[in-house]
């Protein structure tokens, strides 16, 4: 699926999530996941435009692979216009965070080794320490087309970075989108329901690589 622009990327991603909802209702064994890629495609005027491609594939979900609670431990994606330049997220910084959390979950020893090598190259002293391990699969939380588009594009950067030589050995992953609602009850008894999209990073099996 190719999509250009925040609205199109958001709609394409939510379409995959909706397909999984329908599959669950119909008790279908297989679910959908995707690998995002960024590439350039010729426009009508002959110029190139950046397109986000979702390589969608079927997979057999594993019980317990997705977190049961999305209220904490996630990477919240924000596109707040009033945030300072230093606080604003972009695909590069967000992809580093997502990749770091994936390695902390799927390859903590390798993550520690990569970080230690980076410190040595900068001339810093490296002190041995316990390996920090993430207990549950990392996930991104996004609300609205701009945030969803930013999240997907940042994950495209993650897939690209995982092809680099120093990251050989990092377990391959897939992105599972999920429609999620959060209900908040105020003191006055009023309720507010926030709709969001969860992008969970899960292990790709040997058949899915």
Higher pLDDT, 19 or 132: 19
Residues sharing a CB contact under 8 Å with residue 79, sequence separation 6 or more, in sequence order: 89, 144, 146, 147, 150
Among 2-11, 53-62, 87-96, 182-191, the range scoring the smallest mean pLDDT is 182-191
- 20-31 average pLDDT score: 92
- 63-71 average pLDDT score: 88
Is residue 30 a contact partner of residue 60, using CB atoms and an 8 Å limit? yes
Share of the chain above pLDDT 90, in %: 54
SS3 call for 1? coil
SS3 call for 177? strand
Sheet of 173-185, strand order = 2-3, 48-59, 31-42, 173-185, 191-203, 139-142, 75-76
Backbone dihedral angles phi then psi of residue 206, each to the nearest 5 degrees: -60, -35
Q: State pTM to two decimals.
A: 0.84
Kindly report, residue by residue over 29-52, the tens digit of the pLDDT. Answer: 899 999 999 998 777 777 778 899
pLDDT of 3 above 80: yes
Is residue 171 a contact partner of residue 107, using CB atoms and an 8 Å limit? yes
Higher pLDDT, 121 or 16: 16
Which string of DSSP letters, residue by residue, matches 112-174?
A: HHHHHHHHHHTT------PPP--SS--EEEE-SHHHHHHHHHHHHHHHHHTTSGGGTTPPPEE
Residue 135: pLDDT band (50, 70, 90) is confident
Average pLDDT, the chain: 85
Residue 27: pLDDT band (50, 70, 90) is confident
Placement of tokens 């990327």 in the chain: 9
- 104-133 average pLDDT score: 69
Kindly report, residue by residue over 141-165, the tens digit of the pLDDT. Answer: 999 999 999 999 999 999 999 999 8
Placement of tokens 């997907």 in the chain: 152
Which string of DSSP letters, residue by residue, matches 33-86?
A: EEEEEEEEEE-TTS-EEEEEEEEEEEE---TT-S-S--SSS-EE----TTS-TT
SS3 call for 179? strand
Higher pLDDT, 118 or 47: 47
Q: State residue 42's pLDDT score.
A: 76
Higher pLDDT, 117 or 15: 15
Q: State residue 154's pLDDT score.
A: 97
């Amino acid at each position: 699926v190719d999509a250009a622009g925040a609205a199109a990327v958001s709609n394409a991603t939510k379409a995959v999530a909706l397909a999984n909802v329908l599959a669950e209702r119909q008790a279908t064994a297989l679910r959908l996941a995707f690998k995002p890629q960024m590439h350039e495609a010729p426009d009508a005027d002959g110029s190139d435009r950046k397109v986000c491609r979702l390589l969608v594939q079927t997979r057999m979900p594993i019980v317990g692979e997705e977190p049961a609670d999305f209220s904490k431990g996630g990477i919240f994606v924000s596109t707040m216009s009033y945030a300072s330049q230093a606080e604003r997220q972009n695909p590069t910084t967000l992809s580093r965070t997502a990749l770091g959390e994936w390695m902390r979950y799927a390859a903590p020893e390798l993550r520690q080794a990569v970080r230690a090598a980076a410190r040595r190259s900068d001339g810093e002293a490296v002190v041995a320490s316990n390996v920090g391990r993430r207990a549950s699969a990392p996930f991104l939380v996004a609300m609205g087309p701009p945030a969803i588009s930013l999240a997907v594009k940042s994950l495209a950067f993650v897939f690209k970075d995982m092809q680099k030589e120093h990251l050989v050995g990092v377990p391959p992953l897939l992105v599972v989108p999920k429609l999620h609602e959060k209900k908040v009850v105020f003191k006055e008894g009023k309720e507010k329901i926030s709709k969001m999209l969860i992008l969970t990073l899960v292990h790709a099996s040997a058949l899915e690589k």
